[in-house]
Chain A
Amino acid sequence: MSIKGKAYIAGAYEHPTRHAPDKSLAQLHAEVAVGALRDAGLTLADVDAYFCAGDAPGLGPLSMLDYMGLKVRHMDSTETGGSSYTIHVAHAAQAIAAGKCTVALITLAGRPRADGVATGTAPRVYTAAAPDVGFEAPFAPVTTNMYAMCAMRHMHEFGTTSEQLAWIKVAASHHAQHNPHAMLREVVTVEEVVASPMIADPLHRLDCCVISDGGGALVVVAPEIAKSLKRPLVRVLGAGEAPKHQMGGRVDLTYSGAVWSGPTAFAEAGVTPADIKYASIYDSFTITVLITLEDLGFCERGKGGRLVADGNLIAGTGKLPFNTDGGGLCNNHPGNRGSMTKVIEAVRQLRGEAHPQVQVRNCDLALAHGTGGSLGTRHASATVILGRE
């Protein structure tokens, strides 16, 4: 069974806040839920499935279901860090195709900025019982130095340069200048990126995403419901999810799980990378984008540096417009989890509701990709392909 055409994204909402010391975490989840349902033209009473991940406070989905007063017949709290929400879209489509639900609500929220979390540079241990902790925590892996090791190895094997990585940030900044909600709206140059302070060699401060509060939500619905609503029809065409880890000590930092999630999604959708008009690519760091684009097949392995350079990712002028909201690098990275906003911007593009300055013309096929966990240790890659009907 395929999910192709079995579900539609009818509602999408990104919280406008980037700093929420005045709001609770549960409140943010509920506010984005209301926003996405309103966007779809639905109400809380229509929801019969709820999806959330580890950012939701409480035990799995239970506390948020309680807070929102939701009565559902399907729930899923698949937790793969930042890629969870891309996976939720696929799982919601599967559940709808199987007849388990008709209106699936997915929420994400977080307030690391209000909480003063040094997301990229402070050690974080999720649970001491995780089998890897004893063999990693003593060496002080943090988010940035783990991705930095991927970048270092990619540079070593393929000759990728800091300037090529910088182009990814430059493209994101070109898009963010048009987004009134973006944290960083100033257009930057390659020179400014490589001159910014080194955080963990070879990643500079401007190679890293922002730390922001906020959230987002999606409403995935059955075809008959989508067609009864007044919103443009955004159809789920294909999806893939894949973990990648250290493989028992056979570590290879030059590729991600996208080498598996991408082909699965493309095969299900029946399209190829060359068909994609717009791509939302999780951009925790510039290197995340470069490796993901290679793995998804937008270029040959090792040639990502050439693909992203010279403005090729800039909407309007580049060959592959990406992250037209400014992405995690400039706009928003709510709760340190970036794949929700990736799907939201892909939906905007397919509806023709992106900012006019970055709207891709005739955007009828888009891809959104999430990476959760760490490219440097273990992560889950998730790809969805969406089409305008």
Chain B
Amino acid sequence: MAQTQRTIAAPPVNPETKPFWDAAAAGKLLLKKCAACGEFHYYPRTLCPFCFSDKTEWHAAAGRGTVYSYSVMRRAPVPYAIAYVTLEEGVTMMTNIVDCDLDAIRIGQKVRLVFKPSDGGPPVPMFTPGA
């Protein structure tokens, strides 16, 4: 029987990233913002990649963004769309665009956050078309 759903690899969770994945399990996308330089960054780190301060704090993202770039992977058991989405907060993150017509995805398209279950790990942040 043909495979109809893609298995989503579980992200490895470590002490530094556990708050992110705990929040994901509660349906929240957390970003790190540096209290020293005021910049958001992604992916989240303990030490700010812009000023190296350790005064980084978790902030919940609004969960809205636009597609920066994408590609539909055709040569896969189940085709899927990988993308970089630029969040309202200004950072750009790797993700998948899901629950939509893959052929209708466009750069600049507005997307909103959804979580999808991973294979034996926490749910992961993905996006679907819509404001």
Contacts and interface: CB of A to CB of B under 8 A. Distances in A.
Q: Do A and B bind each other?
A: yes
A201 B75 CA distance: 10
Given A152-B69, A156-B107, A138 B10 contact: yes
A323 B10 CA distance: 40
B84 A253 contact: yes
Interface stretch (A61-69, A142-150, A308-316): A142-150
B53 to A, nearest CB: 13
B58 interface: no
A140 interface: yes
A123 B69 contact: no
Interface in B74-88: 74-76, 80, 82-84, 86
B82 A139 contact: yes
Contacts of A149: 69-71, 82-84
B18 to A, nearest CB: 10
A201 B74 contact: yes
A134 B76 contact: no
Contact of A140 (B21, B69, B82, B121): B82
Contacts of A140: 6, 8-9, 73, 76, 80, 82, 96
Contacts of B83: 149
- Find the residue from A131, A136, A139, A142 having the highest chain B CB count within 10 A: A139
Contact of B69 (A141, A142, A156): A156
Interface string A240-279: 0000001111110100000000000000000000000000
Contacts of B13: 134
A202 B75 CA distance: 12
B71 A145 contact: yes
A117 interface: no
B15 interface: no
B25 interface: no
A141 B43 contact: no
Contacts of B92: 246, 249-251
Contact of B9 (A137, A150, A200, A203): A137
A72 interface: no
Interface string B8-50: 1111111011000100000000000000000111110100011
A134 B12 contact: yes
A197 B43 contact: no
Q: In the complex, which range does the number of interface residues on chain B fall in?
A: 35 or more
Interface string B107-131: 1100000000010010010100000
Contact of A128 (B12, B91, B95, B118): B12
A199 B75 contact: yes
Contacts of B14: 129, 134
A133 interface: yes
A137 B17 CA distance: 14
Contact of A250 (B43, B72, B91, B94): B91
A22 interface: no
Contacts of A136: 94
Given A145-B82, A249-B40, A249-B92, A197 B124 contact: no
A156 B121 CA distance: 35
Contact of A148 (B16, B41, B71, B91): B71
B61 to A, nearest CB: 11
Nearest to A251: B92
Given A138-B10, A140-B6, A248 B49 contact: yes
A121 interface: yes
Contacts of A227: none
Nearest to A125: B9
5 contacts: A134-B17, A140-B76, A197-B74, A249-B41, A253-B68
Q: Which 3 A-B pairs have the closest CB atoms?
A: A249-B91, A249-B42, A134-B11
Interface of A: 121, 123, 128-129, 131-142, 144-146, 148-150, 152-153, 156, 197-203, 246-251, 253, 377
Given A131-B16, A145-B73, A200-B74, 11 more contacts: A121-B73, A138-B118, A139-B94, A140-B82, A140-B96, A149-B84, A156-B107, A200-B75, A249-B42, A253-B68, A377-B94
